[in-house]
Amino acid sequence: MLIALKLLGSIALLIYGMKVMSEALQKMAGPQLRHLLGAMTSNRFSGVATGALVTVAVQSSAATTVMTVSFVNAALLTLTQAISVIMGANIGTTLSAWIMSAGFSFNVTNIVWPAFLLGIILIQMGKHRYAGDFLFGISFLLFALGMLKQTGVEMDLANNPAVVNFFSSFDSGSYLTILLFLLIGTVLTCIAQSSAALMAITMVLCTTGAITIYQGIALVMGENIGTTLTANIAALSANTQARRAALAHLVFNVFGVIWILIIFFPFVRFVCGLVGMDPAAESQSPTQLSFALAMFHTAFNVTNTLILIWFIPQIEKLVCFLIRPKEGEEEESGRLKYIRGGLMKTPEISVLQAQKEIVLFGERMQRMFGMVKELYGVRDEEAFKSLFDRIAKYEDISDNMENEIGKYLGQVSDAHLSDDTKETIREMLRQIGELESIGDGCYNIARIFRRRSGMVFTEEQNKGMDDMFVLIDKAMEKMIDVLGEGKESFSLQLSEQLEQEINDCRSRLREQNAKALDNRVYGYQESTVFVDLVNECEKLGDYIINVVEARFGV
């Protein structure tokens, strides 16, 4: 019982170490990784290289794949680019297997104690806390590997009659056995949601002599398929393209397993030869066994990528055929488009999902204002009611979007974030608050139009409202540009100038209204409605400039 608990505890510590190390690396290099993914995927080869580099950097193919799916969901990567990045992620993740094989080759526990000490010093210093988190993560990982190796020796599986009899009942030279172990590896990886943990268990079983190298490699092949579940879960509630990207990961690995199975035994002998091991020998060196597993993992993913990189267009056509867009999807349903269910769990990347959603929020508010302008000229009662109801629906949509995006950002804020990302989230919360105010303002203007029923504005009043609408349109267009393309490409001065023009227009129209009232051009009721309209339009200008300033961090 104690040995079993040590085994389970070591695996838990291994998973935790991988998680801490990966998150620390993402926090240290989050913005650079986002830039790398967006900028270095111009062709399939650079996409593969980018995927491999990012995965090596964060030490998690699942993080890279989920990151890539989220980029596709946010329309920051095309499906073709995503497929190449996922291929590269499969290569980058092989480094983890080599780290583990090193852990099984010599006693690594002695070197973790100074790493723990240095890690806590860096964390306490504050300035380098992410480096300290990384050291803690990799120390936990190496310590867990050492404990796994020690537990494997204590279990002495090779001399346990029950274990020996169980595994010896499987014929290592049979394809049926290989398929069975492949299935076991797939199911266990799906359950554990960690291919690294299953790789460590496989190494324990192989190095202790419980299973043969053929059975171990079959488990590794199953782990390659099982690990694709993470991205597919992340994409369940995402858009069509994101689901296709996740499916492409599964197609890539399944195809690789199929062709490997065709040449399984010759390929395994070739891989074992690369590390100087004979798979048919009766006794095997634990070091050679662990390196053989790592070598197979690398050779499998590299060879698979070299084959399939030429067939990315065909993979894209296949996943597009298998996953069709939903018919009748309503763009204006009020549902979030880029973030659904909060399943994109990479905190430093999730802000991009939310920013893309904020752009959509702004575009919907611009569309709502377009309806308000249209409502101004509607005289037919039935047509007026129909358009007014649509505007009221958009006001509900604005409330819903503010709540959903705010809730999503709140979930992201619960994670350990870099200071830059925390500041970005604060700015985004300001943006959605002001965008919701734009929705309220548009609805208030529509309600004033309803009060105007039966009134006829003068030509001068109509021209004044047209001037105000034109200025607000320009301000909104600039706001959408700043939200979408980024503050680096624009100047705050132009938006401030437009806001000042809106203020000047309000003052001019107020003065014009006072003179018209004095000259009895129209009555007090018409004057009140007109001034209320002008004031609400000016408030819209304030909300718009507030959104822009929040985007600039002012």
Residue 486: per-residue pLDDT: 63
- Give the pLDDT band (50/70/90) at residue 492: confident
The stretch 523-530 carries a mean pLDDT of 88
The stretch 269-298 carries a mean pLDDT of 82
Q: Where are the domains of the chain?
A: 2-322, 347-552
- Give the pLDDT band (50/70/90) at residue 519: confident
CB 58 within 8 A of CB 22: yes
Residue 508: per-residue pLDDT: 93
Residue 328: per-residue pLDDT: 42
The stretch 433-437 carries a mean pLDDT of 94
Tell whether the model's pLDDT for residue 451 goes beyond 80: yes
Mean pLDDT of the chain: 80
If you classify domain 347-552 with CATH, what class do you get?
mainly alpha
Identify the burial level of 484 via C-beta atoms within 10 angstroms of its C-beta, where 0-12 means exposed, 13-18 middle and 19 or more buried: middle
Residue 333: per-residue pLDDT: 47
CB 196 within 8 A of CB 230: no
Tell whether the model's pLDDT for residue 140 goes beyond 90: no
Tell whether the model's pLDDT for residue 329 goes beyond 60: no
CB 350 within 8 A of CB 70: yes
Q: Tell me the pLDDT tens digit for each residue of 496-510.
A: 999 999 999 999 999
Q: Which residues of 169-188 are buried (b: 16+ CB within 10 A; e: fewer)?
A: ebebeeeebbeebbebbbeb
Residue 100: per-residue pLDDT: 72
Q: Which residue has the tokens 């950097």?
A: 57
Residue 471: per-residue pLDDT: 94
Tell whether the model's pLDDT for residue 72 goes beyond 80: no
Tell whether the model's pLDDT for residue 341 goes beyond 60: no
- Residue 444, φ and ψ in degrees, nearest 5: -60, -40
Going from the C-alpha of 391 to that of each of 368, 434, 440, 541, the distances in angstroms are 6, 18, 10, 19
Q: Which residues of 53-76 are buried (b: 16+ CB within 10 A; e: fewer)?
A: bbbbbbbbbbbbbbbbbbbbbbeb
Residues 6 or more apart whose Cβ sits within 8 Å of residue 109: 142, 143, 146, 147
Q: Tell me the pLDDT tens digit for each residue of 223-271.
A: 888 877 766 776 676 667 778 888 888 898 899 899 999 998 889 889 8
Question: What is the C-alpha separation between 473 and 57, in angstroms, rounded?
Answer: 44
Question: What is the C-alpha separation between 387 and 389, in angstroms, rounded?
Answer: 5
Using the Cα atoms of residue 489, residue 494, residue 498 and residue 499 in order, give the sign of their dihedral: positive
Where is mean pLDDT largest: 41-55, 141-155, 279-293, 519-533? 519-533
Tell whether the model's pLDDT for residue 290 goes beyond 50: yes
The stretch 480-493 carries a mean pLDDT of 77
Percent of the chain at pLDDT above 70?
Answer: 78
Question: What is the C-alpha separation between 233 and 477, in angstroms, rounded?
Answer: 36
- Of 31, 74, 35, 129, the closest CA to residue 420 belongs to 31
Which DSSP string do the residues of 143-163 spell out, in sequence order? HHHHHHHHHHHHHTGGG-HHH
- Give the pLDDT band (50/70/90) at residue 469: very high
DSSP 284: -
Residues 6 or more apart whose Cβ sits within 8 Å of residue 231: 62, 65, 66, 68, 69, 86, 245, 246, 249
Residues 6 or more apart whose Cβ sits within 8 Å of residue 242: 69, 70, 72, 73, 235
- Give the pLDDT band (50/70/90) at residue 152: low
What is the model's pTM? Answer: 0.56
Tell whether the model's pLDDT for residue 215 goes beyond 90: no
Residue 362: per-residue pLDDT: 92
Identify the burial level of 339 via C-beta atoms within 10 angstroms of its C-beta, where 0-12 means exposed, 13-18 middle and 19 or more buried: buried
Q: Which residue has the higher pLDDT, 312 or 379?
A: 312
Reduced to 3 states (helix: H, G, I; strand: E, B; else coil), residue 1 is coil
Question: What is the C-alpha separation between 400 and 377, in angstroms, rounded?
Answer: 29
Question: What is the C-alpha separation between 393 and 332, in angstroms, rounded?
Answer: 10
